[in-house]
Structure 1
Amino acid sequence: MDTLTPKQAEQLGMSKSGLYRATRDGRFERIARGIYRDRNAPTADWDWIEAATRRPEATICLTSALALYDLTDTIPHTLDIAIPRGSRIPTTEAAIEWHLFDRQTFDLGRTEIDITGSSLRIGIYSPERCIADAFRMRGAVGYELGRDALREWLRRGGKPAHLMEIASRIPRSKGPLLRTLEAIG
């Protein structure tokens, strides 16, 4: 196991103090409070690991996901993570911006990907879902994010019908998205 919490260490027969000693001796490195990683584990994104460890349903969204899909030139200054509304927002050391998404639409367009260099997985929204969310949250993320991502997505051959199908299921995104599609079209 490349990532370990004190609770997991106890389940494997290692005491918490044994884990802390192993960290002090250099066998493990501390990623964040309560999250440790084998010193010899492959390189991995510690922010992703912390998000996935703190909230198993963590899902990369908005600017972070659009940047991964190369649909925006914006470089995110934090990792945008969605969790279901009503969930407790964890305290993290990483630069993570937690977003609360409606439980009824939380799984819409969501898939899971492997965290490179780790045995963990993290959720990520599809490009279509991210564009619809950018239009829905345009007041918070900026009007340009959704518009620019939409233009690039269309340039790559995106299907507006599929995008509108997703947007119609997400409140406050269908109208602005439809108007922008008509203006671009």
Structure 2
Amino acid sequence: MEQTWPIMSPNTHTQRVLDLARQKGTLRSRDLDEIGAPRVILTRLTTTGLLEKTGRGIYRLPDSQVSEHENLLAIATKVPQAVFCLLTALQFHELTTQLPRRIWIAMPRGSHTPKINYPPLKMVQFAGDSYAEGIEVVERDQVKLRIYCVAKTIADCFKHRNKIGLDVALEALKDAKAQKKASADELWRFAKICRVANVMRPYLEALE
């Protein structure tokens, strides 16, 4: 049976939308379905300055604190199946001095690149366990971010060393071991999953 909502005045809708934005931090247009508010309210609130639009279908309160992971939040909101990987995952785990100009995401083999104007994306396609294994779910500003764990990220960096540079992969490996962010067993497991065991073996042995 279709759910119906009581008729409410625009002012009531406005307050409920603002309350929802305050509660969620990042408000998506489809979130208004939860409270039965028409989406045109978002346009009115943006025009009057009570909300600000940070991306297509994404809003927040003007005085809300900007998250350091705001670009990741925007992508996670628009592309829930995306997994942050490679340079973006290294930066998230504080294992690189690189400042990537694009957000790196992994998608299942056969996926189309998401149509997002900003932030700029770099998509890689993984298949089977290479895509599904090692995903951590981290919540930031009430948005769930899917990101590969440290060991999986390092194995991916060796796998895609031609794209990001072997020096970046080696730096991440050394820092992860020094900071005890990944064990030898974890690194070896993902080296095999990503089919770079032979490539990583001498570097892993050198750090033992």
TM-score norm. by structure 2 comes to 0.77
Higher mean displacement: 97-106 or 143-152: 97-106
In the alignment, what sits opposite 2:93?
Answer: 69
2:152 counterpart of 1:135: no
Call closer, same or farther: CA 1:76–1:11 in 2, change over 3 Å.
same
Aligned equivalents of 1:100, 1:37: Cα separation in 2 = 31
Aligned equivalents of 1:7, 1:182: Cα separation in 2 = 51
Aligned equivalents of 1:21, 1:66: Cα separation in 2 = 40
Offset, 1:10: 4.2
Higher mean displacement: 92-101 or 21-30: 92-101
Offset, 1:163: 0.9
2:194 counterpart of 1:164: no
In the alignment, what sits opposite 1:145?
Answer: 168
Q: Which of these two proteins has the greater Rg computed from alpha carbons?
A: 2
Match of 1:100 among 112, 122, 125: 125
Contact 2:51 2:59 in 1 (8 A): yes
Bigger RCO (CA 8 Å, 6+ sep):
1
- Letter of the structure 2 residue corresponding to residue 66 of structure 1: L
- The structure carrying a bigger helix percent of its residues is 2
The 5 A counterparts of 1:27-46 are 27-44=50-67, 45-46=69-70
- Letter of the structure 2 residue corresponding to residue 150 of structure 1: L
Offset, 1:26: 1.1
Contact 2:102 2:120 in 1 (8 A): yes
2:145 counterpart of 1:155: no
Offset, 1:31: 0.9
Structure 2 gaps of 5+ residues are 1-23
2:114 counterpart of 1:82: no
Aligned equivalents of 1:103, 1:24: Cα separation in 2 = 46
SS in 2 for 1:73: coil
In the alignment, what sits opposite 2:12?
Answer: none
In the alignment, what sits opposite 1:7?
Answer: 30
Offset, 1:69: 2.1
In the alignment, what sits opposite 2:202?
Answer: 179
Structure 1 gaps of 5+ residues are none
Q: Percent identity?
A: 26
Contact 2:129 2:193 in 1 (8 A): no
The 5 A counterparts of 1:105-116 are 105-115=130-140
TM-score norm. by structure 1 comes to 0.86
Q: CA RMSD in A?
A: 2.1
Aligned equivalents of 1:113, 1:57: Cα separation in 2 = 14
Match of 2:71 among 40, 44, 47: 47
Aligned equivalents of 2:106, 2:42: Cα separation in 1 = 31
Contact 1:5 1:34 in 2 (8 A): yes
